[in-house]
Each structure stands twice: as structure tokens, then as C-alpha cells.
Structure 1
Amino acid sequence: MWTGIGWWWWVGVVGVLSWIAYACRSEWGKSERVRRKLRAQGIRGPPPSLFYGNLPLMQKLQSQSKPSSLSSHHSHLFVAHDYTSNLFPYLEHWRRQYGPLYTYSTGTKQHLFVNEPELVREMNQCLTLDFGKPSDVTNRLAPLLGNGILRANGLSWAHQRKLVSAEFFMDKVKGMVGLMIESAQPMLSKWEHAINEAGEAQVEVAQDLRSFSADVISRVCFGHSYTKGKEVFSKLRTMQKAMSKQGGFLFGLSGFRGMVNLWRRKEDEMGKLEREVESLIWELVEERKRQGSSEKDLMQLLLEAAESEEGVGDHLSKKFIVDNCKNIYFAGHETTAVAASWTLMLLALHPQWQTAIAQEVAEFCPDGMPNAESLPNLKKMTMVIQEALRLYPPAAFVSREAYGDIKIGNLLVPKGVCVWTLIPRLHRDPDIWGPDANEFKPERFSDGVSKACKFAQGYVPFGVGNRLCLGKNFALVELKVVLALILSRFTFSLSPNHKHSPAFRMIIEPGHGVHLLIHRISSPPSPHVPATC
């Protein structure tokens, strides 16, 4: 016999289940309508399951993909190594099946894979603020980046970019060369002292380059050295690694249980690290306030901007400063250090290019010391950097979400769809770069990017469009400075201990670092001896 309470309990259960079923049908219906719009434009893709979309297959392919690790004995395979198939096996699986333009689903979220050069060019010309960073990914990045420029969208992003970009105009970057040279001295001295009686030393350069790059960004943007900011960098690095575990950072490939565990980790490990990082940054801000400074660096710009915002409380003002410091700390040093690591690895494999650059540095940089006037003359070095960024771009994706219906060329991207361009695949496409796309050939850039490939938009190491990396000038100058300093003092080859294993940890980095055998140069190379490359 039903009691009044029991009857109402069952009514409640049925009601909740009915609501869940209605919500699922509604979300599935929305996704299906989006897919129909894409199919009507001739865009195909794998059929999705009801609740998980294509996540089950993505999980399966990712679990079957074994990270490859090549020793220095296989150095001839390093450049041609197709690491995209290991890092993103599901994207490559579907590219081979459907071509450079296809659609797929993660749950009820619909995605477009776009690796057609013409569409990439159209994305480059799309200036609307309704085409921003994918919300799913930026939400996962919140502990690391807060609401700073790398996560922001719309007017908030436009405001922050206008503020921060002023620090990275080329005229200002040229004035940072001296500080970059100063920041490199501890690393160079460390390598000098490591050289044994036989005249060589084994060094793992990736970590040393991180320390160098971190010191640069600390000095030029915040007015303090890496010694004071090293705890911030260390904890940000720990957060980066934790977020990148299990390959589920982009699309939640770890499944529901993994998402629950991720949430728990965020509450525990991530939450603790996030609070510690914010506390450390604010200590540096408070110290800067107490000292006072007329220096117009990024820290000063952030402080002035926070003070000038009318109607913004102290909490939001503090968050604005801290979040943007976190963004610049992370983006300003991590990608440049990784790019320098890959470049040194490639130069270790191609000593003729080491010789060519060393001669160039000897000709244009007195005593091996670069300056703002000499850097533009380092043409061969520029070609090598461009080729290193082509083969091993630190950024894996150009990613956007349509926050309204967006027209990209003749393609209509419905609201809510995320667009992904896989940069390393675009950079190694034989249809764009020719049959030698997997070879290290810096000379392809001898007449600039436009002549290096069939479609100039096929080269996007710094992204595309109005969200082009604002630190591009800064990164290129820093790379030239550190390479000039290294190549004026050392020659190097790969160490037998080196393991080549590209890894995706929010950026594409050397999974086991870059291990080199370095030798001191007894006298600078003659600038008059031609090098054959």
C-alpha cells in the first residue's frame, strides 16, 4: 500500500529522470542540428555515439599510441619523425580518412578540423570578437592562467591585449637586448665550468634555457630577477605537467572517472598550487609598490591599469594584476625556451649550419656580443630559427570557438563549434612544402616565408589572425641573442644520452630534454671562410 511520502518520492524520481532524459534529448538535438549544417556543406566525419560523441574512439586510439623514443644512434630519423601520429593519433586517423577538413564530436561539443591553407588564410582575416578561445579548454586552464589574456575572450581580451602588447613592440624589444645578454651569463658560465680536461661537457640544455628565459621575462617585464621569481616558475611548471597528464587536457580523453579525478586533483593539488602561485606573485607586486619605480615595464603598466579602472574593487584589481602576471610568466618563457631547445638539437644534427651561423656572428657581432643593430644581419640564423619553428613548433594548435555563426570564406561555422588547426601537420604537408617537407633545410627560407612554401599561410608558428602571438618579436630577438652567445663560445653535438621523444604538455617539448656534448671554441671562427650548407 502506497503511503503519501512514498508516492511523492516516486513522483520526484520519475520527474528527475524525465528532466534528465529531456535535457539529453535537447542537447543531442542541438548537436545534431549543428552536424546537419556542416554535412550540408559537404563536411564529413566519424559518426558520434549518443552521449560521448567520438570520445570512446579517441580514448582507444590514444591508449594504443605508444610514445616513441629514439636514441642518438637514430639521429638521422629525428627530423622525419612523425610525432603528430603519436601525440594526436585520433586527429591523424581521421585526416587520413576524411582529408584536411572534417568534423567530430566530444560529448555534445562539435569540432571542425581545418588544415586547408585557404581556410587558414580566411581564419587569419577573421577579426570578429565572436571567434575566440574554446571555452572547454580555457576552463581547464583556469588554475594556471586565471582570467588573463591567454584565456580571455571578447572585449576583456581586446582590452588586455591593447595593454600588454605595448610592452612587446619592436622598438621596445630592441632595448631589451642588453638584459637578455646579462640573463644568459649564468648559463654560459655554468657550461664553461662543466667542461672537463678533455675539453668537453655533457649538458641538458632544456632546463638551463628555461632558467635563462625565465630570468629574461622577469627582468624585462617585472623588474626583478629569476632568483626572486623562480618559485613562481617552478610551481607553474608543476601545474603545467599535472594538467597535461594522461593526454586528456584538450578533449577530456580520460573519461568521466578521469574528469572526476581531475576535479579532485584541482581541489587538492591544483588548488594548493594556484593559491601558492598567486601569493608569491602578489608578494613581488607588493615589494614593487614599496620600492616605487619610474620604470615603464609591464608590471608598472598593469599597476596603472588596475588603478585607473573605475568601479573595480580591490579584489578584482588584484586578480587582474596576478592573472596577467601568471600569463606572461608562463607564455613569456616556456615557449621561447622550448623553441631554443629544439633549435640547438637540430644544429647538433647539422654541424655545417653551426659553422655558418658562428661565422655570421663573428662577422656582425664584435666579441660575440649581439646588439640591436647586428641582429637583423644574422640572415642564416634567421633561416635556421624559421626552419626549427616549422619542424618543431612549440604551439600545437590554432584553436577557436564560434560564439555566434561565423563565415570563414565560403564555410559557415555554426555557433558553438570549435575549430582546430594542427600546426605541425600543416608545417609538414608535402602539398605545401614539397617532397622534402620532413627534411631540415633552412635554405628554403632564404627569400622569406612567402617563397619558402606554396601557401604562406601554411606557416603559422605564432598562430594566425587577430590573436597572433603578441610576444613574437620578443621571442625571435631572444632566440637570436641566446644562439649568438652560445655559438660564439661553443660547438656541440648530440650526447649518447639523448632520447628523442616529443611530448605534448600544453606545448610540444622535448620529452626527455635535449642532451648535448659541448666543446669550448678556442678562437672565434673566421667570418671570411664560406660555409657550405
Structure 2
Amino acid sequence: MGTIPILHVTEPDLVKAVCQCTPFDLGRPEFVKKTRKPLFGENSLVTANGELWAHERKVVAQEFSMHRVKGMVTAITECGTTLTETWHKIVENEGGKAEIMVQSYLRNFSGNIISRVCFGNSYGKGEEVFSKLSMLQKVWSKSNLVTAIPGTRYLPTKINREIHRLNQEIRSLILYIVQEHKQQDSINRDLLHSIIEGSTSIPDRTALTEEFIIDNCKTMYFAAFETTSVTAAWCLLLLALHPEWQSHVRKEVLEITRGATPDFNMLRQFKMLTMVIQETLRLFPPAAFILREALHDMKLHNMHVPKGTVIQITIPMLHRDLDVWGPDADVFNPNRFANGISGACKHPHMYAPFGSGPRTCAGQNLAMVELKIVLSLLLMRFSFNLSPSYVHSPAYRMTVEPEHDVPLIVKKYDNSAHM
């Protein structure tokens, strides 16, 4: 790409070698930092390297440990219940059956959760931040900055002006929330508090306190918001296309919950639902690429890689490799995960919906719990069929999402026989 050498890797042994490298050997590419600066900044968990990355990982990862996520289940189920009540009213008003474009509702569900988790008492302002970040993402994707001519992102074009405006508004909102947080009498032990606290001990970068906070708040949008809502949309699409699996999963959910709101212990018993989510993540991984840059001359497996070489792993190619997954690699078959990831394919490291190695997505525990809760709640109350108006067109906008939304025919489901 221009003067940047890119090594495209799909061979299992090389993929494994890349994923096992430390962030001090393979880091985030410089061109990614520059082109995606409006979305992530230059000092966030997804763009930083070396000691700064290690510090940020420690700050953020502890907030998304399974122990912390367990304490978020009540808030997640409340948001999920709000979503199901909204759909229930729509379906009731339409006489028991309605066509619903699901993406915006799932975004609101996921945004409500991460706003509470990230911004605590200021989650109302948090929702405003995520709304503007969503707008920024769409504008950025139109600009096609990844392949743009060097320097064009500085030109005062209409798109560049819009990116700058949204970026400034998001920055101001986050700084307002931070100031509000600091003035609170009682300390709210949420993710924002940890990020603010972590900004006071940045290794050798004390002048970047503001940027550290802003960039990491932005990153939470993609790490724990965008990926979840997109995956939920794909999951509902696949369940609508495969009514036998929809029936199997609903039966499992109703037998375990007996119609009650699912709690953390119930979530761990959802084997079929977990298999469906894992298969959805295989066919439609939210992230399309793993990108790394050699920070020094190094040996990768049996290959010499010069400093500055960008290594690209295209995740959808790993997930549909016939040699790894078998002849049905393109087919929706959740049964392949009946014995877990290690039993699903020849090389477990070739399954990387949340990335792989030290830089695996820190928010994956939260994402999986959110998905199990929202899907179980929806399956308990509704049945789904794909609308004839659906147009299949996966689009890359930082995540792989349905370009034209997912319209579903939603019907009320009577679960009284299982209660």
C-alpha cells in the first residue's frame, strides 16, 4: 500500500507465530494510528504500543474480568427487558406480527449498557457520546482513509470538516463528563473512574492525561458496544434463516429459565445458545483484520521480517479455510462447537473473532454475557422470520455489519407451556 510493505498471513503456523508475539515485538501499525486517529486517538488501548499499551491493558482488563461482568448482569437484563417491552408494543400494535429493522434497537440496547458501565451516573451523557461516535464512524468509512492519498485527510473537504466537528464535540462531551465525575461526592467505581485513575500514572507520558482519558473512552465504543450489537443482528438473521436452530435454542432457554429472567448461573448452562453465538462469530466476525507492525527486525516462524513490515491477518479467511474447518466451512453449523473451540477445528488459534494473543479484545467477557442475555430474552417472547425485503450486503465500517440493516418478521411466542 503505497510505500508500506504488507505481509498477508493465512498459513496456520505463521498465524500462530504472529499471535504469540508480544506487543513489544509486533505493535499497532503507524498508518493505522494516523488514519484512524479520529476514532481511537493515538493513545488508546487499540493504538498504543510498549509500556503505554501494557499500562492501559492493566487498567481496562480488570474492569472486564468475569467477576466484574457478573456484577453487571442485573443492569444488562434491565436493558434487555426494556428492548423486549418495546418490541412487544410494536408487535401488539400490528396485530401480533410486525416487521422490525433490528439494528438500531440492538445498538440502543448495547449503548445503554456500556454507557452505564463506562460512565455510571452520567450514562445519559454517555449515550450522547456513543451516538456521535456512531455518526463519526459512518462519516469516516465514507472518507476511505485507509487507501486515501497521503495528506488528503488534512484538506478542508466536506467529509474532513464533518470528522473534525464531530471529533471536537465528542472531546468536549467526554471532558464534561470527566469534570462532572470528579465533582461527585461519592466515588463511582466504574470504568471511567479506572481510566481517570489510570491517567495519573501513565509511564513516561504524563503530559498525555487528557488524551489518555478521551482516547480510551472512545475505544470502549468499539470494544464493548459496536461489536456486540452487530453480532446480535447477525445472530438473529441466522436464527431466522434456520428455524430448526431457533426452535432448539428457544427450547433450551425456556427449560433452563422456566420463563424467569435469566441470571448469571443460567447463562453458563446455555450450551446451544453459546454454540450459535460462536458459529455466528465464525461466519461474521465483527473485526475483519488483525494488523501488526514489526517494531524491529525479527524472525517469524522460518521467515525474516524487516522492521516496519505490516502483517495482516484477514479473520474471515481464517474462519472459512476448508483445510481447517472442513468441507462445510461456509455452512451455518453450530454443532461444530459442541465440544468447544478446540474440537471445532484443527487449529484453535485460527478462530479469532475477538483477535488473538496478548491483544485479544478486553471486552469479550462482557460481549458474550450481553449476547446471551439479549438473545435469550428475545427468544423467550418472540419468533423470527427473515423479511423478503432483506438485502444481503455485509459492509466493512470498522466492524463487518449489515449494510442495509436486518428486517425481521417478529411474532409473539406463547411460552406458557414451559413455565
Shorter-normalised TM-score: what interval?
Answer: over 0.9
Mean CA deviation greater in 452-461 or 123-132:
123-132
Kindly tell me: are residues 270 and 170 of structure 1, through their superposed partners in 2, closer, same or farther at Cα, counting changes over 3 Å?
same
List per-residue Cα deviations over 1:85-117 (Å, max 9, x = no partner).
xxxxxxxxxxxxxxxxxxxxx121100000011
Partner of 1:218: 115
| 1:182-221 pair list within 5 angstroms | 182-195=78-91, 196-221=93-118
Which residue in the other structure is 2:33 paired with?
Answer: 138
Q: 1:346 aligns with which of 211, 230, 238?
A: 238
Partner of 1:117: 12
The 1:209–1:525 alpha-carbon spacing in structure 2 relative to 1, beyond 3 Å, is: farther
Distance 1:414 1:261, change over 3 A: closer
* Structure-2 residue corresponding to 1:148: 44
CA deviation map 1:173-195 (0-9, x unaligned): 11111110112233212111111
User: Structure 2-normalised TM-score?
Assistant: 0.94
Checking the alignment, whether the CA contact within 8 Å between 1:338 and 1:394 is kept in structure 2 is: yes
Q: What residue number does 1:229 align with? A: 126
| CA deviation string 1:364-415 (max 9, x = no partner) | 2242411111111100001000000000001001110001012221122110
Distance of 1:426 and 1:477 partners within structure 2: 25
**Aligned equivalent of 1:376:** 268
The whole-number CA distance in structure 1 between the counterparts of 2:198 and 2:153 is 38
Q: Is the 8 A contact 1:433 1:454 kept in 2?
A: yes
Residue from 468, 481, 503 that aligns with 2:360: 468
2:265 aligns to what SS in structure 1?
A: coil
Judge conservation of contact 1:214–1:226 (CA < 8 Å) in 2. no
1:273 aligned to which of 129, 146, 166: 166
**Corresponding residue for 1:502?**
394
**1:253-268 equivalence runs, <5 A:** 254-255=148-149, 260=152, 263-265=155-157, 268=161
The structure with higher relative contact order (CA 8 Å, sep 6+) is 2
Measure the CA separation in 1 of the matches of 2:79 and 2:111. Answer: 9
1:419 maps to 311
Separation of aligned partners in 1, 2:134 and 2:280: 23
Where do 1:67-466 residues align within 5 Å?
106-146=1-41, 147-195=43-91, 196-224=93-121, 227-245=124-142, 248-250=144-146, 252=147, 254-255=148-149, 260=152, 263-265=155-157, 268-308=161-201, 316-466=208-358
Q: CA deviation at 1:311?
A: 8.5
Deviation digits for residues 8-30 of structure 1 (CA, Å, limit 9, x no counterpart): xxxxxxxxxxxxxxxxxxxxxxx
> Residues 144, 365 of structure 1: CA spacing in aligned structure 2 closer, same or farther, 3 A cutoff?
same
* Contact kept? 1:362, 1:525, Cα under 8 Å: no
Q: How far off its partner does 1:475 sit?
A: 0.8
Mark the runs of 5 or more structure 2 residues left unpaired by the alignment: none
- Does the aligned pair in 1 maintain the 2:122–2:177 contact within 8 Å? no
Equivalent pair of 2:115/2:124 in contact (CA under 8 Å): no
The 1-side partners of 2:222 and 2:203 are apart by: 29
Quick check: which has more Rg, 1 or 2?
1
Amino acid at match of 2:408: L
Distance in 2, matches of 1:255 and 1:493, equals: 44
CA distance in 1, matches of 2:307, 2:174: 37
The 3 A distance-change label for structure 1 pair 415 and 222 is same
Inter-partner Cα distance in structure 2 for 1:525 and 1:136: 57
Determine the C-alpha separation between the residues in 1 that align with 2:369 and 2:297. 39
Query: Deviation of residue 316 (structure 1)?
Result: 3.0
> Is this contact kept in 1: 2:290–2:315, CA < 8 A?
yes
Deviations 1:436-475 (A, max 9, x none): 1110000010011111112212211111111111111111
Identity fraction in percent: 46
Contact 2:23/2:49 (8 A) holds in 1: no
Aligned length, in residue pairs: 416
Q: Deviations over 1:143-166 (max 9, x none)?
A: 121121111111111111111100
Matched residue type, 2:132: K
**Could you state the TM-score of these two structures normalised by the residue count of structure 1?**
0.75
Cα root mean square deviation, aligned: 2.0
For structure 1, the 5+ residue unaligned runs are 1-105, 528-533
Q: CA deviation at 1:226?
A: 5.1
Q: 1:364 to 1:144 in 2, by over 3 A?
A: same
Tell me which moved more, 488-497 or 189-198.
189-198
Asked whether the equivalents of residues 125 and 173 of structure 2 are also in contact (C-alpha less than 8 Å), the reply is no
Q: Deviations over 1:464-508 (max 9, x none)?
A: 111111111111111111111111111111112221110011111
- TM-fit CA distance, 1:243: 1.7
Distance in 1, Cα, partners of 2:349 & 2:203 = 41
**Inter-CA distance 361–221: structure 2 relative to 1 (3 Å threshold):** same
